[in-house]
Structure 1
Amino acid sequence: MKKENVVSIEDRIPKLKQHRKKKANRRLFFLLTLFLILILSVVYFQSPLSHVKKVEVTGNELIPDDKVLAAGGISTGTSVWGVNKNSVADKLKKLPEVKKAEVRLTFPNTYVISIQEHDKKAYLSRDSRYYVILENGKILDKGTDAMPVDAPLLRGFKEDKVLEKMMKELGELPSEIQQMISEINLTPKDTDQYHVTLYMNDGFEVSATIRTFSEKMIHYPSIASQLDPSRKGVIDLEVGSFFKAYETEDEGTDEEGQNQE
């Protein structure tokens, strides 16, 4: 063996000591870090920072904040880690107004409840008050005395299968056509308990049946665009589609056939 390849034990000892010292330093640093984390954790959990300080509600319009907070059950002062977010969201989705709910923690100690409500589709007139009807067919308990203008008003309906059918058909119409409807009156006939009379925002009246409501009303904009806006009357959509102008003192009944598209 050549002399230059031989490493004496005296040369190796400093390197071994240095390696053991680095290893000991790393172990000491790890233990000190772990100890510091434990101390900070104890301090944190004993401090107000680990307790819920505030609960915010966003996205709600129909349902008030206090009702959301009561249903969610997140109380200020409780541990931020003691809140089951999925459980709170499930409770909120049981409210008739709530379509989706999300609960998230924003550090250090604020919970945010994000609500997506069911769309407002119509109002039900009952006992001189107006009650919101949601897209899921639920009627809200709290009514208003103010005449609604942001959704069709339903008159003569009860909470039964006829109303359910009406809401289903109304929901199948594009929103722009829904917004053209001012009132929907249930005016049953001997031959059709589902007959309705509509009053449109453009001044026309529509005679239809709930059975084919969405199928026929989808053509309303096209039909109305072919009529003289200064001559109001009834657009009959029960079977085919034709227009009957209102009678005036100077003229008799006037009918104009309108082909459904």
Structure 2
Amino acid sequence: MVERVPPFRSRVGKKRSPAPWMFAFIFLFFTGMFIVLFLRSPLSKIERIDIVGNHLVSSGEILHKAKIFKGISYFGVNREHIEKSLETMPEIKNATVTTTFPNQIYIQVQEKTPVAMFRSSYQELFPILSDGTILLNRTASVEASVPVFEGWKPSNSTLRQAVLQLAKLPGSIRRECETVRPVSGQADQVEIDSKRKHRIFVRVRNLSEMMLYYPSFYKHPSGTLFLLESVWFIPDHKAKEGA
């Protein structure tokens, strides 16, 4: 009786497929190597920094405040931190930082617009912001078409109140004001000399309200206008006749 022998099944040539974790390990290894090489290469370093919108503050001051410079790592730039840092500067209203991969930074700032100038005893002009801040570290090279405060001490509280009131005025009226001086013996009043040859006396606390009457006097001849509890105007020629 012949026994039946099961056929021989050869396993030669069959290979097990590599485990999935091997592919994952290889991928992570080469990805990590690529990142390390990129970070160590010049490609990840900041090469270009553009700053726009600054007039009062120099680009150098902005870079110093932001603590950024060419050559730093692109991945070390914290946009939110830079924006908050720049907005602590009294001249800057807001700042926006944009990064462009792999090596560019774009900084756009919006500065506070000076509403007046302060003339020192040395005849130097300094910008005054709408909140009353006098930028004593920034000399204005050219007298702008804004009122000039003269005859004041920088620490005078009335000066700051007058600036706050002046900032509320429409630009068309504010540009008519040439100089703003304190009134001797009347700490609550200021004297405004206009470009239309008018001397205007007004109380600081309601300057923004009372100066709205001034446009109705634009065509009056040179003279003195009192915008106090009551409003009256004295032309220069009548003042001379009365004297």
Q: TM-score, normalised by structure 2?
A: 0.81
Which of the residues 172, 195, 201 maps onto 1:201? 195
Show the 5 A alignment for 1:221-232.
Answer: 221=215, 223-225=216-218, 227-228=219-220, 231-232=221-222
Show the 5 A alignment for 1:64-143.
Answer: 64-127=58-121, 128-142=123-137
Q: Tell me if structure 2 keeps the 8 A contact 1:118–1:136.
A: no
Q: Over aligned residue pairs, what C-alpha RMSD do you find?
A: 2.7
Which of the residues 41, 52, 58 maps onto 1:47? 41
1:71–1:145 Cα change, 3 Å: closer
* Structure 1 residue aligned with 2:146: 151
* Structure 2 residue aligned with 1:174: 170
Offset from partner CA, 1:186-234 (integer Å, 9 cap, x none): 1133xx312111111222221111121011001211x224x44xx2111
Give, in whole Å, the separation in 1 of the partners of 2:136 and 2:83.
22
CA drift of 1:95 comes to 1.4
* Structure 2 residue aligned with 1:233: 223
Offset from partner CA, 1:150-197 (integer Å, 9 cap, x none): 2100012222321121111111111121111111111133xx312111
What residue identity is the alignment partner of 2:168? E
What residue identity is the alignment partner of 2:232? F
- Name the % identity: 25
* Structure 2 residue aligned with 1:243: 233
Q: Tell me if structure 1 keeps the 8 A contact 2:43–2:102.
A: yes
CA drift of 1:107 comes to 2.5
Structure 1: give runs of 5+ residues left out of the alignment: 1-20, 254-261
Q: Tell me if structure 2 keeps the 8 A contact 1:200–1:206.
A: yes
1:145–1:164 Cα change, 3 Å: closer
Q: TM-score, normalised by structure 1?
A: 0.75
2:159 pairs with 1:163? yes
Q: Tell me if structure 2 keeps the 8 A contact 1:71–1:92.
A: yes
Give, in whole Å, the separation in 1 of the partners of 2:140 and 2:32.
60
